[in-house]
Amino acid sequence: MESELWRNSATQLARMIRDREVSSREVVESHLKRIEVVNPRVNAVTVVLEASALSAADDADRRPPAGPLHGVPFTIKENLDCLGSATTQGLHAMVDAMPTLDAPAVARMKSAGAIPLARTNMPEMGLRITTDNVLRGRTLNPWVPTRTAGGSSGGEGAALATGMTPIGLGNDIGGSLRNPAYCCGITSLKPTTGRIPHASTLPPLDFNLSAQMMCVDGPMARHVEDLQLAYQLLAGRDPRDPFSVAAPLQGPPPQNKRVALVTAIPGATLSDSALTAIRRAGAELSAQGWQLEEVAPPELERVNELWGNLLGVDITQMLPVIGQVMSESAVALLHRLTSAFNPESMPSLVLHTERARLMRTWSEFFQDYPLVIGPTWTDIPFLHDADLDPEGGYEMMLKQLLFITPGNLLGIPAVALPMGVANGLPTGIQIYADLWREDLCLHAAAQIEKAVGQVCPIDPVS
């Protein structure tokens, strides 16, 4: 049994440990062995916390089960503080950057009884949608190793997809929870901005404007039930994050049971596999009494324009500093990206007024369509370093994100959900709902998953 424990969900493992079917040590050892076997083939895990994880597992086995994740291992992206390991941000310059406190999300997982197992890979400063850096190397997509595993939480995505961890933590300012979920065939929750607190003990302690308004931490897993559990554990106010709030986890039943299916994205042509996934998801909800309509949400092109300007202004101001510790190729990409957005064409007053208008417009749209289902990326995962191509790499990257950006600019919640496999790669959808309605996203995802099932864990494809 031990060798197969890594196949289980975090929720299943917690129940087995609670019922004394298995020990926490057996669960941790199973995942450590899985890391040893498969990580060399994908390079998703960067640091294994073996000694501390086994010690914590033994301690968990000596005590009566306490929290909902008692004795269950979890993994943590390298830009989230976890006591005892460096928060490297994927940089050589931060290889010894040791935090003095856990990040709020890490602390809450520990309070629920979960055990830090390993750190996972990311791009430099989290500023690419693929996962590669000079310090740790490249993470490979376990389905097709020549293609990206997504980013910036790509190490988490690949680790989950291959069974090295049952649940993990990442973050998202431009799809960094959802991009790897799509590329690797797992699921993730991008919460409402402010739902899950985000803080660090390493400078800068106070985040730039785009991070304050758009960046969130969130859970990644193979099973929606794990996202549902993590959502309850991670949500809530923390004084270290002045923008975090304590809001109800559940809302009232929607007045309209209507789903907007987004089958056309301005500026992109969706693949047949994407359209099939979207319509199948809709059909599963239709069977549950939802009415379907193929309709475009408001002003997607304007949403992308504002997202690019909000992020681009901050990156432009940060580049003189971060450019000194990042690779030349990554810095060149950021220069090309920021050149696509002209701050002079969108003054601060216009940017923030327009953002408020779009937030209001989308919230009104959600009154008619409480659920919106569309693609995650507009195309299949790209070949490694295609985003660095000076001849169109950043345009390709921006095109992939055309339906990702509403979640960040508008702060709305989203679940990325796998929908099967086509031509050797996982397919997937994205489920949006109004601010603070993660419960609607998760409930819909659970209904769809019940019919579709999971596609992971898998052994990495050579």
Question: Tell me, what CATH number does 18's domain have?
Answer: 3.90.1300.10
Tokens at residue 448, please?
């769809």
Residue 462 CB: number of other CB atoms within 10 A? 5
CA–CA dist 453, 369 (Å, integer):
25
Count Cβ atoms within 10 A of the Cβ of residue 364 and give its class: 0-12 exposed, 13-18 middle, 19 or more buried: exposed
Residue 242 CB: number of other CB atoms within 10 A? 12
Tokens at residue 74, please?
């979890």
Q: Is 286 in the active site? A: no
289 φ/ψ angles, rounded to the nearest 5 degrees: 100, 5
Mean pLDDT by 10 residues, the chain (462 residues): 84 98 98 98 98 98 96 98 98 98 98 99 98 98 98 98 99 98 99 98 94 98 98 98 97 96 97 97 98 98 97 94 96 93 86 98 98 98 98 96 98 98 98 98 98 98 92
Q: Is residue 282 part of a domain?
A: yes
Total domains, the chain: 1
- Cα angle: 440, vertex 442, 447; to 5 degrees: 95
Which residue of the set 24, 77, 110, 273 is catalytic? 77
Q: Is residue 462 part of a domain?
A: no
Which residue of the set 9, 176, 188, 244 is catalytic? 176
The residues, ordered by sequence, that sit 6+ positions from 296 with a Cβ below 8 Å of its Cβ are 262, 264, 266
Q: Is 152 in the active site? A: yes
The residues, ordered by sequence, that sit 6+ positions from 352 with a Cβ below 8 Å of its Cβ are none
Chain Cα centroid distance, residue 459? 21
> Which is nearest to 179 in space by CA: 397, 336, 365, 11?
397
Q: Taking a C-beta distance cutoff of 8 angstroms, is the pair 95, 86 a contact?
A: yes
Q: By residue range, what is the domain housing residue 51? A: 2-452
Q: Is residue 458 part of a domain?
A: no
CA–CA dist 112, 59 (Å, integer):
14
Q: Is residue 460 part of a domain?
A: no
Cα 223 to Cα 28, 103, 229, 283, 416: the distances in Å are: 19, 24, 10, 20, 11
Q: SS3 letters for the chain? A: CHHHHHHCCHHHHHHHHHCCCCCHHHHHHHHHHHHHHHHHHHCCEEEECHHHHHHHHHHHHHCCCCCCCCCCEEEEECCCCECCECCCCCCHHHCCCCCCCCCHHHHHHHHCCCEEEEEECCCHHHCCCCCCCCCCCCCECCCCCCEECCCCCHHHHHHHHCCCCCEEEEEECCCCCHHHHHHHCCEEEECCCCCCCCCCCCCCCCCCHHHHHHCEEEEEECCHHHHHHHHHHHCCCCCCCCCCCCCCCCCCCCCCCEEEECCCECCECCCHHHHHHHHHHHHHHHCCCCEEEECCCCCHHHHHHHHHHHHHHHHHHHHHHHCCCCCHHHHHHHHHHHHCCCHHHCCHHHHHHHHHHHHHHHHHHHHHCCEEEECCCCCCCCECCHHHCCCCHHHHHHHHCCCCHHHHHCCCCEEEEEEEEECCEEEEEEEECCCCCHHHHHHHHHHHHHHHCCCCCCCCCC
In this structure, the strands spanning 115-120 and 73-77 are parallel
Q: Up-side HSE of residue 345: CA atoms within 13 Å toward CB? A: 10
Q: Is residue 428 part of a domain?
A: yes
Which residue of the set 24, 30, 152, 200 is catalytic? 152
Q: Is 176 in the active site? A: yes
Q: Is residue 337 part of a domain?
A: yes
Tokens at residue 249, please?
């986890």
Would you state the pLDDT for residue 345? 79
Q: Is residue 461 part of a domain?
A: no
Would you state the pLDDT for residue 2? 45
Measured over all CA atoms, what is the biggest interatomic distance in the chain, rounded to whole angstroms?
63
What is the chain's Cα-based Rg?
20
With 0.75 as the threshold, say if the pTM is over it: yes
Q: Is residue 375 part of a domain?
A: yes
CA–CA dist 278, 261 (Å, integer):
7
